[in-house]
A and B are shown apart, each in its own frame.
Chain A
Amino acid sequence: MRPFLEAYTAPKKEIPRRVYLTVSALVGISIFVFWSVLSYGELVRPDFLPTPVEVVQAAISGYEDGSLIVNTGVSLTEIMAGFVLASIFAVPLGILMGSFKIVEAAIEPVANFMRYIPVSALIPLLILWVGIDIGEKIAVIFLGTFFQQLILIADVSRAVSHDLLDVSYTLGADRRTVVTRVLIPATMPGVVDTLRVTLGWAWTYLVVAELVAANQGLGYFILNSMRGLFTDQIFLGIMVIGLLGLITDQLFKLLRDWLMPWASES
């Protein structure tokens, strides 16, 4: 035990990949075993904690009757529409805001005010204005992610070194070229990292919106399951959200490695 501790407990030191994976797997298995003991041992009321098999069964029946697929599809559509829409505006505006004082002066005060308003506080207003359809969910995600993205991307743009721009001028670049050929490429790794982080947040806003008022989507699926005390379905809904989050996160990581092999690790 002692050499193990000696070897693998130094701060910020690499450990062998084998050890890394073993530890990750052990923790995962432990959680699963703990859950199984609690549920199969009936240490927790079956109403409150489903067994793993029940969750799998819920997944199968949800797949067969279409409710799982439909609700997942609705949530994915809403999140992608809101997120893509927010990103389309936030990325260029954020890059400009971080590097042009005049844009910063125009946008930053508003953005800073807006980003401290929890988007959940806007939901009642959005329901009044837009209704409870998909449009409202998209609006919630848009407002929730747009201002956060804007501030984060402005920081990325602000962090691009002055010397990098200056050296471009001495190589014969004009202002326009410096923006298109230097500033924008220089921000790209940070932009992708920002998108990756804010997509995770977007899931939160989506589920909050669907919990408040909706007639489809994964948040609705979870809330509806609660009404009938179908904890297996609640578990299923949560796990699907977690899984989708994990997949999109990994996709972003792959995208970054594929598009920007030159970038340093984030």
Chain B
Amino acid sequence: MNATLAPAIDDAAAEHVRTPWSEFWRKFRQQKVALVAAVFVALLVVVAVAAPWIVPYDAENYFDYDALNAPPSLAHFFGVDSLGRDIFSRILMGARISLAAGFISVAVGAVIGTLLGLLSGYYEGWTDRIVMRICDVLFAFPGILLAIGIVAILGGGMANVIAAVAIFSVPTFARLVRGNTLALKHLTYIEAARSLGASDRTILLRHVLPGTISAVVVYFSLRIGTSIITAASLSFLGMGAQPPTPEWGAMLDAARSDMLTAPHEAIFPALAIFLTVLAFNLLGDGLRDALDPKIERQ
């Protein structure tokens, strides 16, 4: 995204050169909600990384048989589940799984999708036709169905769920980047680069990619939210993380039988998923508003 050199006069801009970064930051920091979401996401990442060292109890192998289904207390902040495990510790460890699932799957999908989108938008012709046809086919399966199909072939487990989510992230990124590439490649600066003798590789990686990266970043953040929900849904269906793994969706599934007597077993994992996904979605919205030049015009 190029800095839009709007005639707006602004203290910071009067002294400094406006780089895309400073421009982005100027707009992003005005969005309080997105800033809070960004801080929350950062905290989550810290918790996820540090989880094994900060959990009060072992998430899988600690059983308090005297406190089965106990409600939240000082000893167990989020209570105890039906097997006597500390829910707070399991939620913290679950953050690791959910964030990793969301991040890895979308990252893989984004890298492959962006690459395919660049190639098919830039070269058009039959490269484009083949890539887009594959995307059409992938799009023809509703996301979770594709994931279930893949899990049915490869078997359950978190790694397969991540692979499945990655596969159906590919076409969205491919389409997005292809569209941008088609629009960008006719612009004068690309033509200038080509007339200077730049190779296709240089043009694509140094000139087209930076032009489309902001759209990819926005989509990345929004997509992580969806992917976390999909991964949790598959675990909820019993196809993802297997017990005793402290995955949030699997925890909710296990809590279903005790909803009447111990609702806290369902409330905390549900809240964990909700807040995490909400943070990524709000962050994505904020990024979009900060990166989209259309917004400023209005």
- The answer to whether A and B belong to the same complex is no
Q: CB within 8 Å of B: which residues of A?
A: none
Q: CB within 8 Å of A: which residues of B?
A: none
